[in-house]
Structure 1
Amino acid sequence: MAQQDTRLGIWLMVLTTFIFALQDGLSRHLSEATNVYMVTMVRYWFFAVFVLTLAARSKGGLRGAVKSGQPVLQAIRGVLLVLEICVMVSAFVHLGLVESHAVFACYPLLIAALSGPVLGEKVGWRRWSAIGIGFLGILIVLQPSGGVFSPLAAIPLVAALMFALYGLLTRRVARTDSAATSFFWTGVVGVVTATLIGMWFWVPMSLPDWGLMALLCLTGATGHYTLIKCYEVAEASAVQPFAFLQLVFAAALGMVAFGETLRPNVALGAAIVVCAGIFTLLRARKAEQR
């Protein structure tokens, strides 16, 4: 058991969000050059090797990692995450990093709203108020009178819903399975799903793009490694609010590397969503302590 160090955990979360933002930028570029499904498939090949390596080195080895008390839910988690990645990267291609992440930032609110019917948790009036305010922020981002509001705006919203369901199922299986088991099933089921989809969309890729693909795979493994280390040294509830920094890093990358713009309504709406999300996380932490 690693010694608890919240400050180190926070810095590891900041580093993780920066790495994942870089991964998002690489995913957008490569998906524009080829397609979303091929990029997701190749990245999962590398991720599966990373997962199997960690599982083999964990207590109980591969045999211990594969044992699950809820294999059906674990399989659904793995499939759901692959589909969520495909949907979210499609959002990067069609909407850009800035606006996609501004909408996607609502996923903690969706988790809070769905935790009652899915997990049987009680959600108090304060969190429901924060959820309502957060979705007001989403409306500001979408700007129904114009701007980003279009059928394309539904893409990151669907991704956020899928990721929220993935998060809820992760908490559900955690009642019987270890984190190592969940991680193993995520990688193995994910690589099978991604390959069954992506093998139909294989296209030639230039040598420089293969180099970027290698970098994408490396950032994926590195990001998950720093995230694991983050949760080893600090409580998830203490560092989770800093995960919103991925929105900041991704927006900066979108503007610098892809020439995107940050419109005032997107900045205002995203700020409201993030504040509401942090509030729901803090209320959930207090509820757990009680």
Structure 2
Amino acid sequence: MSAAPSTASAGFSQEENFPLGILLAFLAFAGYSIMDVTVKMLVKHYAVPQVIVFNSLFAFIPIILYALKTGGLWRNLRTRRPQFHAARAFCGICSGFLGFYAYSQMPIADVYALAFTAPLFITALAVPVLKEQVGWRRWTAVGIGFLGVMVMLRPGSGLLNPAAFAALGGAFFYSIGMLISRLMRGTESSVSFAFYSTLASTLVYGSMMPWLGKMPTWPHLGLSALGGTFCGIAFVCLLTAFRKVPAAVAAPFQYTQIIWGVLYGYAFFGDMPDHTLFIGVAIVISSGLYILYRETRLGRQVAAQPVAEGA
């Protein structure tokens, strides 16, 4: 599932350039969607852990090149909080597997729609995890957002299935990873978040290859290269976008993924969401944008901001 840098180390700066920042944010989420298309194609032929490993290996290339260009590998990857990186990597491992599994069973647009619940989870979990004060307005937005989820899933319709729960579970673990990133703000570079999560996924799922892996064909290896490279490039674009514009400007572009999800889903897989999904998406996005507005107005770190997992 797609993801982006922390505002702590990649926020609004003297480098601001609104047109460029907005363009980069738009391109970043378009790039993540290309990765998701390749994932959905590959999970029909290979086990999810193998797809994650190959995607991660190719995602390393743009990430490492960006780190070398922005201060060097050591400067970007050194850490004072390895235990937090380990916890965040665990969340990335879980969210990646659940998200990729959901892609194997559901249309891309449906997975995106459920992934958009992440800001709702972040707001709800900020109370017990970060001891933040959440007022009645944001609690109301969270409640309305989850009503939107119920509209999309329509309990009793058969859409409430293991894949849907996997998509929601991926959003849940992604949200915990975001909260951990908040705890790390000010001491870690944004590149380190993507690098260590990608490294952990590669090592954990790579250890399963003797039992689950099989030799990919050249076309499928090309798809892996395409998806993984676009994932890494998307991270670099989004990291740069957060340096050019405030987080509140860049973050909402994540919702443009529903457009790509519908277009790519129809073009490559013949999937066309029904009108009920669009109603639910509109409710969830509205709730997320309101939470973003309240977070920004209150001067807190943006709850709706995505974080790059790198895989």
2:88 corresponds in structure 1 to 77
Query: How much has 1:162 moved relative to structure 2?
Result: 0.8
Q: 1:176 to 1:30 in 2, by over 3 A?
A: same
Q: Who is 2:153 aligned against?
A: 142
Task: List alignment gaps of at least 5 residues for structure 1.
Answer: none
Q: How many residues are paired up?
A: 289
CA distance in 1 between counterparts of 2:202 and 2:60 reads: 6
Are 1:102 and 2:113 counterparts? yes
CA contact (8 A) 2:63 2:191 kept: no
| Counterpart check, 1:10 vs 2:17 | no
User: Out of 135, 138, 144, which is 1:127 matched to?
Assistant: 138
Residue 55 (structure 1) aligned to one of 56, 67, 82: 67
Of 229, 232, 238, the residue aligned with 1:227 is: 238
Assess if the C-alpha contact under 8 Å between 1:84 and 1:163 holds in 2: yes
Return 276-285 or 229-238, whichever deviates more: 229-238
Distance in 1, matches of 2:262 and 2:281, equals 11
CA RMSD of aligned residues (A): 2.0
Q: Structure 1-normalised TM-score?
A: 0.92
Give the aligned partner of residue 256 of structure 1: 267
User: 2:292 aligned with 1:281, yes or no?
Assistant: yes
Larger mean CA deviation between 179-188 and 70-79 belongs to 179-188
- 2-side partners of 1:66 and 1:206: how far apart? 34
| The one of 25, 32, 43 aligned to 2:44 | 32
Q: Contact 1:237–1:285 (CA<8 Å) still a contact in 2?
A: yes
Give the partner amino acid of 2:118.
Answer: Y
**Under a length normalisation based on structure 2, what TM-score does the superposition of the two structures give?**
0.86
The answer to whether structure 1 residue 156 and structure 2 residue 167 are counterparts is: yes
Letter in 2 for 1:136: L
Cα pair 1:46 1:217 within 8 Å, conserved: yes
Q: Could you tell me which runs of 5 or more consecutive residues in structure 2 were left unpaired when the two chains were aligned.
A: 1-12, 302-311
Range with greater deviation from structure 2 (268-277 or 186-195): 186-195
* CA displacement at 1:38 relative to structure 2: 0.6
Shift in alpha-carbon separation, 1:72–1:225, aligned structure 2, 3 A = same
Worse-superposed segment, 184-193 or 39-48 = 184-193
Give the percent of matched residue pairs that are identical in Structure 1 and Structure 2.
25
Q: Which residue of structure 2 lines up, in the alignment, with residue 238 of structure 1?
A: 249
Work out which of the residue numbers 44, 58, 68 in structure 1 matches 2:56: 44
Whichever structure has more helix as a proportion of its residues is 1
Residue 88 of structure 1 aligns to a residue whose secondary structure is: helix
Segment drifting more, 76-85 vs 108-117: 76-85
